[in-house]
Structure 1
């Protein structure tokens, strides 16, 4: 808890604001109007995720944004400024893309569920950010796109997260056309879980988060890791792996307590062991 309190103080004026309540850590992109993923923003986001990883007070992470744009992707002005470098920006672009890839992988590998709360437009790396989260809830006004192709820059890194969340045809439609899709289409594609009126967004996200907080933290950690690991395996290997995970999960104290509580018709008391 002390780590998060300290983090909150240090991030109140930065590009990412942190707030912890009831086990739910809300990380808000706070650099409107674009909430672009500049180096400073990505470093702040990475730092917050790193601290949340080992803090037992954090059970669920919510990614939100201030303003009408969730995230417009990389800071194009920042990228363009480095064209004047001796290497025409190569080193800076390498740093930017690798930092972004690290943030996205940290979200997937975080042993706690991450929910995207999308109240506005999410494009390019911003769309990648949404796709990288475990769950995503969007308002009816939200829009999504991977528009790099429109400026001569194929969204190759956003493609990694996008193609792991929607069908290949839908991913290619977004990547090849660069056109915006509305929230309803994003839900049909599988990019978001729910589409809700703007006034209910925070309430619905909070309900998701509180439901997840009520579960065993150990079980969530085991399950999230296993979900992404088996998704990259062939069918036979996935089942072999899942059997081992299931057996180890059964040996956990929380599984013993959960089953016993179910039989006894009472609420389980989780210990995280």
Structure 2
């Protein structure tokens, strides 16, 4: 039997999904993407899970797509076009599944996150990174512009700054990524797990229905014109304020005065 590509651990309503292929630098091969897709689908149906942490084993968070696998596609009669399209389509589904999960997702980035690996980290709702971590969309150094990773990166970083990274292949050190708002929290390498768990525990302590509605509202309004964004957020906020737990929380606050 082969070792699983991902491991899952659940404690106190927090699920940790760990990429467990350090020998490949946690490359997002077709099997790895399939494993992530299945895991996210199961998590989305589990009401007991309040927060998801996405972590990785080894020195790299993820080096992106498996380049050996990609080169192998070229032997197909069409030069690999159908296989490349299937790979990028599956990758897009995985990234969108993170946004669609009802639970907040925290990427715990301990090392380098490059190309589709950077895309994976930036698709999470929050990022906690080691001070020694680095982020890059450096496919251009191989002659491949990271167009799909650009989708996630450009939603966390100013367009000009994102395009510079995409066009130069330069890496973004975690402290600089934190200063630019890509990373939410920094931690020394030996405190990364504790800092991530601290953030996850804080969110898990909040009303889960409100958090789920809030994530849905936040994701839905992104990129919408201002009137539509307010209409979307307002409708979900009405749904939220009508929850019994919300009524009780507001009344407790009033009664304290």
TM-score (structure 2 length as normaliser): 0.96
Deviations 1:210-257 (A, max 9, x none): 111111111111110111111121112212222222222111112112
Q: Distance in 2 between matches of 1:207 and 1:258?
A: 23
2:49 matched to 1:20? no
SS of aligned partner of 1:144: strand
Q: Distance in 2 between matches of 1:218 and 1:168?
A: 33
Matches within 5 A, 1:245-260: 245-260=236-251
Residue matched to 2:186: 195
Unaligned runs of 5+ in 1: 1-9, 266-273
Deviations 1:52-81 (A, max 9, x none): 001112111000000000000000001101
> Which of the numbers 51, 57, 63 marks the counterpart of 1:60?
51
Moved more, 253-262 or 96-105: 253-262
2:220 matched to 1:219? no
Unaligned runs of 5+ in 2: none
2:240 matched to 1:239? no
> Which of the numbers 19, 23, 42 marks the counterpart of 1:51?
42
- Root-mean-square deviation (CA, aligned residues, Å) is 1.4
Moved more, 184-193 or 121-130: 184-193
- Checking the alignment, whether the CA contact within 8 Å between 1:147 and 1:178 is kept in structure 2 is yes
Deviations 1:151-173 (A, max 9, x none): 11110000000111110111011
Q: How many residues align?
A: 255
> Which of the numbers 196, 199, 206 marks the counterpart of 1:205?
196
Residue matched to 2:74: 83
Q: Distance in 1 between matches of 2:187 and 2:166?
A: 25
TM-score (structure 1 length as normaliser): 0.90
- Checking the alignment, whether the CA contact within 8 Å between 1:137 and 1:192 is kept in structure 2 is yes
